[in-house]
Amino acid sequence: MSDPRRGYVAYLLRLWQVSEGKNAVWRASLEDPHTGERRGFATLQELFTYLETEACRVDGDPSTPNLSETGDSTADVG
């Protein structure tokens, strides 16, 4: 999802609300505009965690694990 140029990442962000009982919760998806790959997030916190991890990865921080290594619970949106 990152551009070959170091320090640059682009996504199309979609946000929407769904009802869970009496509460409305936010859902999100990110789409890579170059590949069309989409990733879904059940909570905004999952989205923020993913973005932080990706920013560290693109930044070249080797101490930040990939989400797949940390048991990421996000699902691909299709």
Q: Are 52 and 67 in contact (CB under 8 A)?
A: no
Position 53 in a domain: yes
Cα angle 70, 43, 11; round to 5: 80
pLDDT digits (tens, 9 = 90+) for 21-72: 999 999 999 999 999 999 999 999 999 999 999 988 877 755 555 554 444 4
Q: What is the domain range of residue 28?
A: 12-61
Q: What pTM does this model have? A: 0.67
Burial (CB count <10 Å: 0-12, 13-18, 19+), residue 30: buried
Residue type, 56: C
Alpha helices in 35-76 (DSSP H): 44-58
Position 67 in a domain: no
Q: How many structural domains comprise the chain?
A: 1
Q: Name which residue leads in pLDDT, 17 or 71.
A: 17
DSSP 68: G
